[in-house]
Amino acid sequence: MPGENLSRDEARERAALLSVEEYEVSLDLRSAVGGTDTGTGPRTFRSVTTIRFRSSEPGATSFADLVAPAVTAVSLNGRDLDPGAVFDGTRILLEDLAEDNELVVDAQCAYSRTGEGMHRFVDPEDGEVYLYTQYEPADARRVFANFEQPDLKAPFRFEVRAPEGWVVWSNGVGELTDGVWRFAETKPISTYITAVVAGPYHYVTDTYERVLDDGTRLEIPLGALCRKGLARYFDADDVFLVTKQGLDFFHEHFDYPYPFGKYDQAFVPEYNLGAMENPGCVTFREEYIFRGNVTQASYERRANVILHEMAHMWFGDLVTMVWWDDLWLKESFADFMGAFSLVEATRFTNGWVTFANNRKAWAYRADQLPSTHPVTADIRDLEDAKLNFDGITYAKGAAVLKQLVAYAGRDAFLEGARRYFKRHAYGNTRLGDLLAALEETSGRDMTAWSRSWLQTAGVNSLTPQVLLDEEGRVAELAVLQEAAESHPELRPHRVAVGLYRREGADGPDGAAGSGALVRYARAEIDVDGPRTVVGELAGADAPELVLVNDDDLTYCKIRFDEGSLDTLRAHLGDLTDPLARALCWSALWNLTRDALMPARDFVDLVLRFAGRESDIGVLQTLHAWANSALTFYAAPGWRETGGRLLAEGALRELRSAAPGSQHQLTWARFLAAVATGEGDLRLLSGLLAGTEKIDGLEVDQELRWAFLEPLAAHGVADEDALAAELARDDTASGKRHQVRCLAARPSAAVKAQAWAAVVESDALSNALVEATISGFAQPSHRELSAPYASKYFDAIERVWEERSIQIGMDVVRGLFPSLQDSSGTVAAADAWLASHGEAAPALRRLVLEARDDLARALRGQACDGAAAG
C-alpha cells in the first residue's frame, strides 16, 4: 500500500509540467470467464493505453501511474523501453520528454476482489460473472496507465473486448462492432470518474425529454441495470421517476444542460460505497434494490443518493477540484443539493428532517474527533484523501452551505453556481473560484464567512438563557455560544429561536400538559460572539421550551436551559412539528455522547416517546442511538437491565403497531437488534418457524436473516440452521448474511476462525470481509473477543502494509477492541500510537479516532454510573 501513494507536491509538480491531450484505452476482459483461480497469482486482463500529452519542458522527467502485476511493453515517442527498468509496480518512469509525447503501455492488470479497480464478482446463484470499476480517489491506475490526479483532465476513448453475450457500458454511448465494444469519446474528465461495467446485466431503458429555455429539445437516454438475479426485485420505474425529477430540477436551477450525453445507472454487487458519480455511467451499491419489505425511509435514502450523484454531474464532473484539499467543492455541494432537490422535486418532502437528524449527526461526531479538520482540508497524499470522504466533507459542508443559502440568499447562491459552471466548465477550481462567483451575485464579503466556516474546525454549542420578569414574561432571552478548548473559534450563526408551550396549559380548566407542544413565537437573528440578546422575544409569554436553531438554519450543537430540558423529559412526544422534534432528539443524543445526560435517561426517553414518532427515518435513527447508548455509554452494571427494558419496549410497540405498517416492520427489526432474553429469542424462532404470528407482519427473506443473527449470537441457531437458511436463499445476499451469522456464534473457535479469515488471509472478498467483521463484533461477546485486543495492535501495521487501503480501513476500524471498554484498552491504544510514530499517518488517524470514541464512551459510562447513585 505505501508504494502506491501519491503526494500533493508530486501532483503539483506533474501538473505544472504536463498537459494531457487524450487517452485511448483498450481492455480485453474475455479472461473474466472460464478457467479457475489457482491461488498462484491474480486473474488478469490485458490493458493497452495510449496517452498523448504535452510537456512544458522538453527533456524533463516525469512518471505515469499504473498498479499492475506485469507490464508487457512500454513505448515513449516510438522508443521501446525496458518494462523491467521503467516500471516498479506502481509507476512508469518517463525520461527525456518531448514537447509532444505519445506513451503506449501494454499491461496485465489484475481483477479485484476488494471493490477497487476492476472488481470481478461471481454470482453464486447462477455462476454468472459481473464486472465493474470503482476508482475514487486513485484506482483507475489499477485498470489502465494514466496520470492519476484530478487536475490532469482529458477526453477518453474506450474500447472493450468482452465475453460473447455480454453487454458493456462506459461513460459514453457504446456500440458492438466485430466483437469489440467501442465508446464515444468523452468530454475532458478526470481519471477517477471514468468507468466500465460489463457482464450479463439486466438492463432497462427510458428517455428524459425537456425543452430548454432557448427552445432546444433535450433528449437524454436513460438506462438502469442490475444482476439478473435481482431483476425480479428491480423497481426501475421508481429509479427513473426520481432521475427525471432530478434532471428537471437541476436544469431549471443550474441553467446548464446535462453535459454528458446518456445517463446509465448501474446497481452492482460488493460495492464499497453508496454510489459513484461517473458521468454517463453512475454506479450504486445493489442493496438499493430491495429484496424484501422496507420502509419509505429506504426509498428516501435511495432517492437522495440518486440526486446526490446527479448533482455531481455539475459539481465535480463538469467542474472539478484541482486537488483533494477542495474535495468539499464536489461532496459538500452534492450532499446539500441532494437534500435540496429531494425536498423540492420529489415526494420526499421531509428530507430536511432526515438531514437534521441523520446526516448532521455524522458531521457532529466527525467534528469532535481529534482528526477533525476544516471543510477545506489539508490533504498531503492519496491516503489522506481516502480518509477524508467523511462526515465533515459531506454533511458538515452541506450544513454550512445550507447556512450560506440563508446568508447570501437563495437566488444569489444559485446564480453564483450558474456563473461558476459556465466560467469553469471542464476545468479545475479552488476555493477562491467559487467564492468569487458568490461575492459577485450576493454582494457579500465571502472572505470572513469562508474563514469561519470553511477554514476552521470544530462545532459550536448554542444554549438559551432565559430571564423572566415579575409577571412571568421574558425579560431577556440570550443565546450563549461556546467552543471546545481545542478549537476555540466562535462563529457567526444565522439562527431562528423558537418558543414553545403546550396548548391548554394555561386554559380555563388549568389542565397542565393537556395539549400539544407548539411554537408560539419565533425570531431570526445573527448570533456572533459569546452572548447575543434576542431583543425581539422580550415581553413574550414564558416558554416551556426554547429551541435555538429552530428550523435548522445553522450548524451547531443545540443545548437546553433546565426548564426546556425538564419539558422534553416530560412532553417530548407532544412536540408536533417533525423537524423541531428531530432537532430535539439530535440534541439529546449529543448530550448523551458528551456525558451530560446519562445513557439510561436517553434510553428512557426513547422508550416513552419513540412510539409516537411519525417520521420513520427518525424512528430508525432513534433505534440505532438507543442501541448504541446501551452498548457503549451505559454503565456496565445497567446493561442487562437496559437491554431487557429495550426488548420489552420493542415488543410492546411491535404488538401495538398497525398491522402491515412501516412502524411495525421497524419495531420488528429493532426487536431483533436488542433481543437477548429467552422469551424474545423464542418469539423470533417461532416467527421463523411459522408457529408464532404477529398480525400483518410478513417475515420475508430479509427479515428472516435479521431474526437469525441474534439467534446465532445467543447459540440458538447453529451452523446447520444457517446452512439450511442459505439453501433457502442461495444468493449473493444470502451468502453475506450467512457469513455474518456464522461469525456471530458464541464460540471461541468461531471467533478464532473469523479473525484468521479477515486478518491472516486475503481470500475473502470485500463484502465477505465486511460481513465477517460485523458478525465478530457482538456486544454480548465481550469475553470471547477480549483476547483479540492485544492481537489487534500487533497486526494492524502489517495489515495496512499488505492489503489494499479499503480492506485496511475495514479491518482497522471494524476490529478495534471498542467492546473492551476499559482504561486498559485506551492505554493500549496510546502505547501503540506512542511506539508507532512512523506508521502511515492514515493508519494512525484511524487508531486515534477509535481511541477517542472509546474514551468518550468511558466518560459516558461514568456519567451513567453516577446517575445510579
Give 733-785 pLDDT, tens digit per residue: 999 999 999 999 999 999 999 999 999 999 999 999 999 999 999 999 999 99
Q: Is 156 helix (H, G, I), strand (E, B) or coil?
A: strand
Q: Which residue has 422469551 as its cell numbers?
A: 679
Q: What is the pLDDT of residue 137?
A: 94
CB 852 within 8 A of CB 369: yes
Q: Which amino acid is at 518?
A: V
Q: What percent of the chain has pLDDT over 70?
A: 98
Could you give the CA distance from residue 825 to residue 819 in angstroms, rounded to a whole number? Answer: 9
Of the CA atoms within 13 Å of residue 195, those in its CB half-sphere come to: 27
Q: Give the DSSP H/E element, type plus range, for residue 4.
A: none
Rounded mean pLDDT, 670-692: 97
Q: List, as own/partner pairs, every contact residues 571-576 make where C-beta atoms lie below 8 angstroms and the sequence separation is at least 24, other chains included.
A: 571/502, 571/513, 571/517, 571/544, 572/605, 572/608, 572/609, 573/608, 573/609, 573/612, 574/502, 574/513, 574/515, 574/516, 574/517, 575/500, 575/516, 575/517, 575/545, 576/516, 576/517, 576/518
Q: State phi, psi for 106 to the nearest 5 degrees.
A: -110, 115
Residue 1 has pLDDT above 50, yes or no: no
E runs forming strands in 297-404: 320-321
Strand 263-268 relative to strand 217-226, pairing: parallel
Q: Per residue in 405-463, pLDDT tens?
A: 888 889 999 999 999 999 999 999 999 999 999 999 999 889 888 999 999 999 999 99
Q: State phi, psi for 236 to the nearest 5 degrees.
A: -60, -30
Q: Is 751 helix (H, G, I), strand (E, B) or coil?
A: helix
CB 800 within 8 A of CB 840: yes
Q: Per residue in 259-286, pLDDT tens?
A: 999 999 999 999 999 999 999 999 999 9
Could you give the CA distance from residue 163 to residue 664 in angstroms, rounded to a whole number? Answer: 46
Rounded mean pLDDT, 659-683: 97
Closest C-alpha among 171, 142, 177 to residue 155: 171
Could you give the CA distance from residue 315 to residue 328 in angstroms, rounded to a whole number? Answer: 10
Could you give the CA distance from residue 826 to residue 783 in angstroms, rounded to a whole number? Answer: 17
CB 392 within 8 A of CB 327: no
Could you give the CA distance from residue 161 to residue 145 in angstroms, rounded to a whole number? Answer: 18
Q: What is the pLDDT of residue 507?
A: 44
Residue 3 has pLDDT above 70, yes or no: no
Q: Is 727 helix (H, G, I), strand (E, B) or coil?
A: helix
What are the counts of helices (DSSP H) followed by strands (DSSP E) for the chain? 29, 28
Q: Which amino acid is at 751?
A: K
Could you give the CA distance from residue 603 to residue 762 in angstroms, rounded to a whole number? Answer: 40
Residues paired with 499 in a beta bridge: 521, 546
CB 156 within 8 A of CB 185: yes
Instruction: Enumerate residues 6+ apart whose C-beta is below 8 A from 586.
Output: 356, 357, 360, 361, 364, 558
Q: What is the pLDDT of residue 511?
A: 44
Strand 493-502 relative to strand 517-527, pairing: antiparallel
Q: Which amino acid is at 403?
A: Q
Could you give the CA distance from residue 319 to residue 557 in angstroms, rounded to a whole number? Answer: 33
Q: List, as own/partner pairs, every contact residues 644-648 make where C-beta atoms lie below 8 angstroms and the sequence separation is at least 24, other chains included.
A: 644/676, 644/677, 645/603, 645/607, 646/603, 646/606, 646/607, 646/674, 647/671, 647/674, 647/675, 647/676, 647/677, 647/680
Could you give the CA distance from residue 20 to residue 147 in angstroms, rounded to a whole number? Answer: 9
Q: What is the pLDDT of residue 505?
A: 56
Instruction: Enumerate residues 6+ apart whose C-beta is below 8 A from 254.
Output: 314, 414, 417, 418, 421
Range of lowest pLDDT (59-68, 206-215, 267-276, 807-816): 206-215
C-alpha cell, 524: 431570526
Q: Per residue in 284-310, pLDDT tens?
A: 999 999 999 999 999 999 999 999 999
Could you give the CA distance from residue 214 to residue 1 in angstroms, rounded to a whole number? Answer: 51
Instruction: Enumerate residues 6+ apart whose C-beta is below 8 A from 195.
Output: 132, 133, 135, 169, 170, 171, 276, 278, 281, 283
Q: State phi, psi for 199 to the nearest 5 degrees.
A: 150, -175
Q: Give the DSSP H/E element, type plus range, for residue 434.
A: helix 431-442
CB 160 within 8 A of CB 168: yes
Could you give the CA distance from residue 246 to residue 341 in angstroms, rounded to a whole number? Answer: 7
Could you give the CA distance from residue 613 to residue 635 in angstroms, rounded to a whole number? Answer: 27
For 320-453, CATH number out of 3.40.50.740, 1.20.140.10, 3.30.360.10, 1.10.390.10 equals: 1.10.390.10
CB 334 within 8 A of CB 315: yes
Average pLDDT value over all residues in the chain: 95
Tell me which architecture the domain covering 2-293+303-312 has in CATH. Answer: Sandwich (2.60)
What is the distance of C-alpha 734 from the center of its chain? 23
CB atoms within 10 A of CB 618: 24
CB 238 within 8 A of CB 246: no
Q: What is the pLDDT of residue 509?
A: 42
Q: Per residue in 534-578, pLDDT tens?
A: 999 999 999 999 999 999 999 999 999 999 999 999 999 999 999
Instruction: Enumerate residues 6+ apart whose C-beta is below 8 A from 178.
Output: none
Catalytic residues: 309
Could you give the angle at which helices 701-713 and 719-728 cross, rounded to 10 degrees?
Answer: 170
Of the CA atoms within 13 Å of residue 579, those in its CB half-sphere come to: 16
Q: What percent of the chain has pLDDT over 90?
A: 93
Q: State phi, psi for 454 to the nearest 5 degrees.
A: -105, -20
What are the b/e assignments for 333-355, b being 16+ CB within 10 Å?
bbbbbbbbbbbebbebebbbbbb
C-alpha cell, 837: 510514530
Rounded mean pLDDT, 687-712: 97
DSSP string, 59-121: T--EEEE---SEEEEEEETTEEE-HHHHB-SSEEEE-S--SEEEEEEEEEEEPBSSSSEEEEE
Residue 508 has pLDDT above 50, yes or no: no
Residue 38 has pLDDT above 70, yes or no: no
